[in-house]
Amino acid sequence: MNVSIIIPTLNSPWLDQILTRLERQITTLDQVEVLVIGLDAAGVTDRFDWVTLIDTEQKMAPAAVRNLGIRRAQGEILC
């Protein structure tokens, strides 16, 4: 992975739109890691096999969610 994209979420109603538009922009999914961190009760991430969901199982502070994503990311560049 060259790039890790970290997307914090708390059951965001826009998550589907974000991932759909991101999918259109990424030309080589093998060089990009997409991590969705937080809560996804609607199961939006299940529709995108190239997305990794890290379920926090409970509400967490925004900084803690971002830090969890940073620790789990494998890319050289974090977005």
What range defines the domain where residue 24 resides?
3-78
Cβ(39)–Cβ(56) under 8 Å? yes
Average pLDDT per block of 10 residues along the chain, 79 residues long: 92 95 82 94 93 95 96 95
pLDDT of amino acid 25: 87
Tell how strand 32-39 and strand 3-10 pair up: parallel
CA–CA separation, 2 vs 34, rounded Å? 11
Domain count, the chain: 1
pTM listed for this prediction: 0.90
